[in-house]
C-alpha cells in the first residue's frame, strides 16, 4: 500500500491541475470502490472549485468551495493520471509498472482548465468520500490518527509519551496509525535501521522511567507520561524525518503499482539501506553483519541483527 511519501508525491502532482480549478463534470463509472459512493457524490462535486489539495496521513483531501472536503484513498492499486490536450501523465512512482487497462478507470474529474483527472483502481481497495469540513474532525476515518511525522507536533517527547506504556514491539508501535500517521512497513524498516534500533525492541524503551533522571521536575515527568525521551527516541525521530524527506524528494518508492501523476516510476528504492536487501552485507560503516528478514505482525521485517539493538 502506498505510504506517506508516495501519497505526498501524488498530491504534488495533482495540485497544479486541480487546485484553483472547477470540477465541471464528475463521472462515477460504477456504484462503488471499496465502499459504495454516496448517492449525491457526483452532485456535490460538479460545479465546485477545488480551493486546496492537502494530505492527512495516507489520505488526499480536496477542499471544495461549498465547504465540503473530498477524501480520497489510493488503496492497494489506485492511481491517478492527468490528461491534458492529448498528453497523459501520472503522479506517483512504483517499481513495477501499473496495468494499463482503462476498464479500471472508475472516477473521472473534468476540470475547467481542460484537464481530466482519472482514478484507476484494478483491485478497488481505494475509496472516496465527501465530508462537510465542519464534520471532518469527527470523521471516523481520520479521528483516531496520530500526529503527522513531518509536522511540528511530532518530536521525541511526543513519541516517547505515546510509547511509554506500550508492551508491543517498537516496529508495531510505529505502524500504529494512532501513534504516528502515515508510516508504513518500508519506511519503518528504513528508519529503525538508520537509528540502529531493533524492530523487536520494546516500544516503551523510548521513554525513561519516571524519576529515573536527576533534576527532572514532577511537571516534566508528567509531560512525557512516565519519563523523558531517551536518546533512542531522539535518534529515531531524526531518522524518520530524514528517510521521509529523502523519499519525497525521490518521488516515492517504486514498489508494485505506485506511479507519479507524471507516469514516471519512483527511484527511492535505489536508496533502500535495508528494505528488501535480505542476505546482503549491512551498509552501516564498520558493521560486518548481514541483513536478515523475518515476519513480524504479518509483514516482512528487514534488519541487521548485529548493529540494530
pLDDT value of position 219? 44
Residue 264 pLDDT greater than 50, yes or no: no
Q: In sequence order, what E strands does 250-291 have?
A: none
Q: Considering only CA atoms, which of 106, 141, 116, 110 is closest in space to residue 33? A: 106
- CA 29 to each of CA 26, 32, 105, 290: distance values in angstroms, whole numbers, following the listed order: 10, 9, 8, 50
pLDDT value of position 261? 52
- Mean pLDDT, residues 53-69: 97
Cβ burial, residue 270 (10 Å; 0-12/13-18/19+)? exposed
Query: Could you tell me the pTM of the whole model?
Result: 0.85
Answer for the pair 269, 159: CB distance below 8 angstroms, yes or no. Answer: no
- pLDDT tens-place string over residues 35-53: 999 999 999 999 999 999 9
Q: For a pLDDT cut of 70, what percent of the chain falls above it?
A: 84
- pLDDT tens-place string over residues 146-201: 999 999 999 999 999 999 989 999 999 999 999 999 999 999 999 999 999 999 99
pLDDT value of position 271? 72
Tell me how far apart the alpha carbons of residues 52 and 21 are, in angstroms, rounded to a whole number: 10
- Mean pLDDT, residues 204-230: 63
Cβ burial, residue 100 (10 Å; 0-12/13-18/19+)? exposed
Residue 20 pLDDT greater than 70, yes or no: yes
Is residue 16 annotated as a catalytic residue, yes or no?
no
Say which of 11, 58, 81, 201 is annotated catalytic: 58
pLDDT value of position 306? 98
Q: Cβ–Cβ contacts within 10 Å for residue 117, how many?
A: 24
What is the grid cell recorded at 20?
484553483
Residue 15 pLDDT greater than 70, yes or no: yes
- Mean pLDDT, residues 223-252: 84
Number of H helices and E strands in the chain, helices first, is 8, 11
- pLDDT tens-place string over residues 76-126: 889 899 998 777 777 765 544 555 678 999 999 999 989 999 999 999 999
139: left (phi over 0), alpha (psi -120 to 50) or beta: beta
- Mean pLDDT, residues 224-231: 76
Tell me how far apart the alpha carbons of residues 11 and 33 are, in angstroms, rounded to a whole number: 20
Residue 204 pLDDT greater than 90, yes or no: yes
List all residues 6 or more positions away from 205 whose beta carbon is below 8 Å from its beta carbon: 170, 230, 232
pLDDT value of position 96? 44
Dihedral sign of CA atoms 294, 281, 270, 178 in order: positive
- Residue in the block written with cell 480520497: 72
Backbone angles phi, psi at 143, to 5 degrees: -65, -30
The DSSP call for residue 304 is -
Is residue 3 annotated as a catalytic residue, yes or no?
yes
- Mean pLDDT, residues 282-303: 96
Q: Considering only CA atoms, which of 297, 303, 309 is closest in space to residue 168? A: 297
Residue 290 pLDDT greater than 90, yes or no: yes
Is residue 2 annotated as a catalytic residue, yes or no?
yes
Question: 19: pLDDT confidence band, cut at 50, 70 and 90?
Answer: very high
pLDDT value of position 253? 52
- Mean pLDDT, residues 282-300: 95
Tell me how far apart the alpha carbons of residues 79 and 87 are, in angstroms, rounded to a whole number: 17
Residue 3 pLDDT greater than 70, yes or no: yes
Say which of 12, 25, 123, 299 is annotated catalytic: 299
The mean of the pLDDT values for the chain is 87
Dihedral sign of CA atoms 24, 69, 140, 240 in order: positive
Is residue 264 annotated as a catalytic residue, yes or no?
no
Q: For a pLDDT cut of 90, what percent of the chain falls above it?
A: 71
Residue 225 pLDDT greater than 70, yes or no: no
Answer for the pair 147, 158: CB distance below 8 angstroms, yes or no. Answer: yes
Amino acid at each position: 500500500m502506498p505510504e506517506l511519501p508516495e501519497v505526498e508525491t501524488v498530491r504534488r502532482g495533482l495540485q497544479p491541475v486541480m487546485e484553483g480549478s472547477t470540477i465541471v463534470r464528475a463521472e462515477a463509472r460504477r456504484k462503488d470502490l471499496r465502499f459504495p459512493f454516496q448517492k449525491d457524490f457526483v452532485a456535490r462535486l460538479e460545479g465546485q472549485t477545488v480551493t486546496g489539495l492537502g494530505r492527512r496521513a495516507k489520505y488526499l483531501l480536496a477542499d471544495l468551495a461549498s465547504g465540503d472536503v473530498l477524501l480520497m484513498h489510493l488503496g492497494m492499486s489506485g492511481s491517478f493520471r492527468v490528461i491534458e490536450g492529448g498528453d497523459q501523465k501520472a503522479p506517483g512512482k512504483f517499481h513495477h509498472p501499473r496495468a494499463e487497462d482503462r476498464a479500471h478507470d472508475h472516477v473521472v474529474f473534468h476540470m475547467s482548465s481542460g484537464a481530466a483527472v482519472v482514478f484507476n483502481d484494478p483491485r478497488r481497495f481505494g475509496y472516496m468520500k465527501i465530508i462537510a469540513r465542519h464534520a471532518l474532525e469527527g470523521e471516523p476515518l481520520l479521528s483516531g490518527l496520530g500526529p503527522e511525522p513531518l509536522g511540528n507536533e511530532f518530536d521525541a517527547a511526543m513519541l516517547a509519551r505515546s510509547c511509554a506504556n506500550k508492551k508491543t514491539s517498537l516496529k508495531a508501535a510505529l505502524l500504529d496509525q494512532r501513534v504516528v500517521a502515515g508510516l508504513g512497513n518500508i519506511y519503518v524498516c528504513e528508519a529503525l535501521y538508520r537509528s540502529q534500533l531493533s524492530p523487536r525492541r520494546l516500544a516503551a524503551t523510548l521513554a525513561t522511567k519516571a524519576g529515573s533522571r536527576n533534576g527532572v521536575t514532577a511537571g516534566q515527568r508528567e509531560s512525557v507520561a512516565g519519563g523523558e525521551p531517551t536518546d533512542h527516541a531522539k535518534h529515531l525521530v531524526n531518522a524518520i524525518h530524514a528517510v521521509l524527506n529523502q523519499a519525497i524528494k525521490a518521488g516515492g518508492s517504486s514498489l508494485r503499482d505506485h506511479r507519479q501523476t507524471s507516469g514516471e516510476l519512483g527511484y527511492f528504492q535505489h536508496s533502500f539501506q535495508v528494505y528488501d536487501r535480505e542476505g546482503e552485507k549491512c551498509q552501516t560503516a564498520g558493521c560486518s553483519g548481514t541483513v536478515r528478514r523475518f515476519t513480524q505482525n504479518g509483514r516482512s521485517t528487514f534488519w541487521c541483527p548485529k548493529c540494530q539493538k
